[in-house]
Amino acid sequence: MSRPVALVTGAARGIGRAIALALAEGGYDIAVADRAEADPTATLDAIEAVGARGYFAGFDLADLSAHEAALAAIRDALGPVDLLVNNAGMGAVVRGDLLDLEPANFDRIMDVNLRGTLFLTQRVVASMLAAPAAHRRAVVTVTSISASHASPERTDYCISKAALSMFVQNLALRLAPTGIGVYEIRPGIIRSDMTAAVAEKYDRRIADGLVPAGRWGEGSDVAGAVVALASGAFAFSTGAVIGVDGGLGLARL
């Protein structure tokens, strides 16, 4: 068990799978965390194909009572977590007028995107601090350009990501003296299951110049940023916010 261990949430598919595979190729063993009903086969097969060990932890991120058992199972299977990648998240339950936002839908997205992520991170970091470090340790959280750019038709999603961003800043300050790096990645328009339903709309808007780079982002773009931050090359940049958006977040005239 000489390889470092990365826990990637939402890793059964999409961006999470791309992150998990890139980290496996970079020397990590991978704990693939996702909902219990998710199918992790493709992710685990890809991880093992590059010579890394993979383990599936199936649990509901919103269920705080499930966190302890899941993390214990990961430790037993792979060893202590050196890198936490908070990637799991959900989009707005219903897109529409913010004046019609339902409390239950608001609560659901907060439970996953903010509350579940915050308290899972709390447990993982506590475990990191409780034992000497054998490898470089870091927490990388994937938020969204929606942390800073408003979309009134999905206000609940934007709020969840803005709040998560503030959590990352506070965590970075708390952990700076410990040497545990804390980073935020803000993707822009990334091709994924979450954006599939609005792909035609964004195809048009990208063609019209919405994204300066002129293309969709891919899961590999986010994965490359995660690998770079986890490497230790940005150790003195703890708290940094990295835009992976093709220039979408830049102010323009």
Per-residue model confidence as pLDDT tens digits over 120-138 = 999 999 999 999 999 999 9
| pLDDT beyond 80 at 38 | yes
Query: Does pTM top 0.85 for this prediction?
Result: yes
φ, ψ for residue 182, nearest 5 deg? -130, 125
What token pair was written down for 23? 């980290």
Q: Among residues of the chain, what percentage have pLDDT more than 90?
A: 95
Res 2: pLDDT = 86
Res 1: pLDDT = 58
From the list 28, 157, 183, 202, the catalytic residue is 157
For the chain, give the mean pLDDT: 96
Q: Which helix (H) or strand (E) holds 57?
A: strand 54-58
Q: Among residues of the chain, what percentage have pLDDT more than 70?
A: 100
What token pair was written down for 122? 């709390």
Paired residues of 199 in beta bridges? none
Contacts of 169 (CB under 8 A, 6+ apart): 184, 239
| pLDDT beyond 70 at 16 | yes
pLDDT per position as a tens digit, 177-202? 999 999 999 999 999 888 888 889 99
Contacts of 1 (CB under 8 A, 6+ apart): 29, 78, 79
pLDDT per position as a tens digit, 40-56? 999 999 999 999 999 99
| pLDDT beyond 90 at 19 | yes
Active site residue 157: yes
Domains of the chain with CATH codes:
5-244 (3.40.50.720)
For the residues 80-92, what does the mean pLDDT come to? Answer: 97
Contacts of 78 (CB under 8 A, 6+ apart): 1, 5, 29, 31, 53, 55
